[in-house]
Structure formats: C-alpha cells, structure tokens
Amino acid sequence: MSKKVVILLSTYNGEKYLREQIDSILNQSYQNFELVVRDDGSKDSTVEIVKEYMEKSDKEITLMVGKNLGFIKSFFELLKHSDADYFSFADQDDIWLPNKIELAVNSLEKLDDTKPNMSFSNVDYYDTEMNFMGKGDSENKKPSFLNSLYECINQGMTMVINKTARDYIIKNIPEKCFFHDWWTYMICTAFGNVVQDDVVTVKYRRAKTNATVEGQGKITLLMWRIKKLFLGDGMKDIRAQQTMFKNIFYNSLSKENKKIIDTFEGEKYNFIKALKKTFYPKKIRRKLVDDLSVRILFLFGIL
C-alpha cells in the first residue's frame, strides 16, 4: 500500500481563494492523503467553506478550529495533531499542480527514512487574479546547514517532509523562530537530507497579505527586506533562531555542524568573531550579492 500523506493547511480569513486551493489539492494524482485544516480564528466564511468540502468530498478532511496564534504556531499545531508517513505544508491561496505530492513522495522514498528528510519543488509566481508574473529560481540551490543559518532556500508550500522530520519538530518546538518552514529546513540540513526537484508544482499567488514578497520584483523585494530586516526585528530574530537551535540541538549535531554554529551563533557583538564570520571561506548564501551583503552585516555587527 502506498504511503500516507497528510496535507497541513492553515487558514485565516481565506474565503476569497480557498476553494481554488482545496480543489487543486483534491485533484492530486497521488490520492492516499488526508487534508487537515486548522483555522486560526477566521472572521469570514473560511470555516463554512471547509465544512462544505467535508460534506461533499469523498476524501478524508479534518477541521481544527482554534484561537488566533499566527501562521507559524498554527502550522506547528497542525504537525502536533497529525500522523502519517509524510507531511506537506499548504497555504490557503495557491494552486497546486496535480503531480506535486506524487513527485515529492517518489523523491522521499529513495532516502533513508530514519533521518529527517525533505523534498521540495519549484514555483511560478502569479498575481491575485492568477495572471503569470514570473518563473521561480531554477538554479541548483545546494542546501546545507551553513546556508540554513541565514537563508531558507524554499517556500513552505513546496516542502514535503517525512515522519522523522515531523517528530524532530514536534519534540522541539521553538518558543520563537523566523518561520516554521525555515526551522524545518534547519533540522533537515543538520540531521538528514534535503532534495530539490526543479519541476514547478505550485502556482504561487502573491497577494498583499502574504508573509513574504518573493516574486513581486526586485524593488518590492528590496523594500520588504529593508522593512523586515533592518527597520523591524528581522536581524534580531535570525540571531535568536540560531541561539534557540543551538540550545535545543547542540549535543546532537555532528562535529562539523557544531563548529559551524559555534562560529556564527551569538547575540552579542565580538570583533574577532565578526572577522571570522566575514571572511569565512565557504559560501554562506547562494547568490553572490546576498553572500557579500551578509558578510558586510557581520563586519558591522548588524547580523
């Protein structure tokens, strides 16, 4: 029998696009799945729409209605209350292509299931009316634990993880992290495997309410980074995420990964350490401009 997948959908005031997303999930070529929805305190008809699908669909759909926790904690709650062989995050306003789950399961089946593993795919970007905006980044993303300290190279709705990864997460839910998918990426690069399938499997709707603005153009992305990372608490949150990860997992890390996190983690500025980080011999972020930028931030104690 094929492995079971749980698709984890966190909703919040998502009535406008939710039907399109649920329809695309139900039309997956891989059919051994359960859809588990957690509503994060919606004030619109989101819950009623989910109940409508529960009544009319022959697929297994479970609804959890909770208080507003924010999408990060909501996804952690979904993981805690679900059980399967594989787990897939889903946002409420995208459209999945039919082969999304099938491709991910095929990739994960080739890996050592005793380790926390992740498969992720590519996306194309669309506006709110599903007009094509641009192609996703197709270059080899070369996941690594070092990279995970300063970058999450994939979006949550492209990820499918195995049960071992899920168990790592629910046993060690952080008090605070930058994003749930970033925390997941860190765990899988530190202890398991992350594999990339460059096939586009998601039409990524870029609505104004999205948590990030990838795909909306270089100027928009630059302004978001300035607002989030420099004017907001972004840099502080990245450092705090690293400290949280080290506090929880340090004794389980390999020697190499212990050296990496010892080099980069630290919330207080130290000039000698800043120099070591700035001139670290391995590439930290994928793109040259981003890699140079993060090294400048190290030097001046901003990150």
Assign residue 45 the CATH number of its domain.
3.90.550.10
Distance from C-alpha of 187 to C-alpha of 84, rounded to nearest angstrom: 19
In the predicted model, is pLDDT for residue 231 greater than 70?
Answer: no
Q: Would you place residue 161 in the very low, low, confident or very high pLDDT band (cuts 50, 70, 90)? A: very high
Considering the domain architecture, whether residues 156 and 268 belong to the same structural domain is answered as no
Lowest mean pLDDT among 125-134, 214-223, 231-240: 214-223
Neighbour count for residue 299 (Cβ, 10 Å): 14
Give me the DSSP letters along 172-218: S--S--S-HHHHHHHHHHHHSEEEEEEEEEEEEE--TT-S--TTS-H
The angle at the Cα of 235, spanning 231 to 237, to the nearest 5 degrees, equals 110
Specify whether 14 is located in the same domain as 117.
Answer: yes
pLDDT score of 275: 96
Share of the chain above pLDDT 70, in %: 90
**Counted domains in the chain:** 2
Q: Is the pLDDT of residue 242 over 80?
A: yes
> Is residue 230 pLDDT above 70, yes or no?
no
d(C-alpha 156, C-alpha 113), whole Å:
20
**Mean pLDDT across 139-165:** 93
Q: What are phi and psi of 78, to 5 degrees?
A: -60, -45
User: Between 220 and 44, whose confidence is greater?
Assistant: 44
Global pTM reads 0.91
Checking DSSP bridges between strand 60-65 and strand 33-39, what pairing results, if any? parallel
pLDDT tens digit sequence for 98-142: 999 999 999 999 999 999 999 999 999 999 999 999 988 866 678
Domain extent for 271: 231-299
Task: Please give the Cα distance from 182 to 119 (Å, whole number).
Answer: 14
Together in a domain, 166 and 268: no
Pairing type for strands 60-65 and 5-11 reads: unpaired
Q: Report the Cα 90 to chain-centroid distance in Å.
A: 10
The answer to whether residues 34 and 136 belong to one domain is: yes
Residues 238 and 184 both lie in one domain: no
The answer to whether residue 272 sits within a structural domain is: yes
Residues 175 and 243 in one domain: no
Stretch (H or E) spanning 35: strand 33-39
pLDDT, mean over the chain: 91
